[in-house]
Amino acid sequence: MFNVVLVEPEIPPNTGNVARLCLATQSTLHLVRPFGFSLDDRQLKRAGLDYWEDVDLRTWDSFAEVQQANVAARYFFLTTKTKRAYHEMKFKRGDFLVFGRETKGLPESLLAANIDNCLTIPMHGTRSLNLATAVAIVLFEAVRQQSASR
Mean pLDDT of the 4-11 span: 97
pLDDT surpasses 70 at 48: no
Domain range holding 12?
Answer: 3-148
- The pTM for the full model equals 0.95
C-beta separation of 102 from 14 below 8 A: yes
What is the per-residue pLDDT for 97?
Answer: 98
Q: Specify the pLDDT at position 34.
A: 96
- Res. 42: pLDDT tops 80: no
Q: Compare 136 and 13 and report the one with higher pLDDT.
A: 136
Q: How confident is the model at residue 55 (pLDDT cuts 50, 70, 90)?
A: very high
| Residue 40 confidence (pLDDT) above 90 | no
**Dihedral, CA atoms, 65, 70, 73, 77, nearest 10 degrees?**
-20
Residue 104 backbone dihedrals phi, psi, to 5 degrees: -130, -10
E-strand stretches of 1-150: 3-7, 28-32, 56-60, 75-78, 96-99, 118-119
pLDDT tens string 65-100: 999 999 999 999 999 999 999 999 999 999 999 999
What is the domain count for the chain? Answer: 1
Query: What local confidence, expressed as pLDDT, does residue 41 receive?
Result: 67
C-beta separation of 9 from 35 below 8 A: yes
Domain of 113: which CATH number? 3.40.1280.10
Task: Answer with the residue of higher pLDDT: 40 or 140.
Answer: 140
Cα separation, 123 vs 107, whole angstroms: 21
DSSP label at residue 52:
G
> In this model, does residue 150 exceed pLDDT 70?
no
How far apart CA 135 and CA 130 sit, in angstroms, is 9
Please report, as a single letter, which amino acid is at residue 5: V
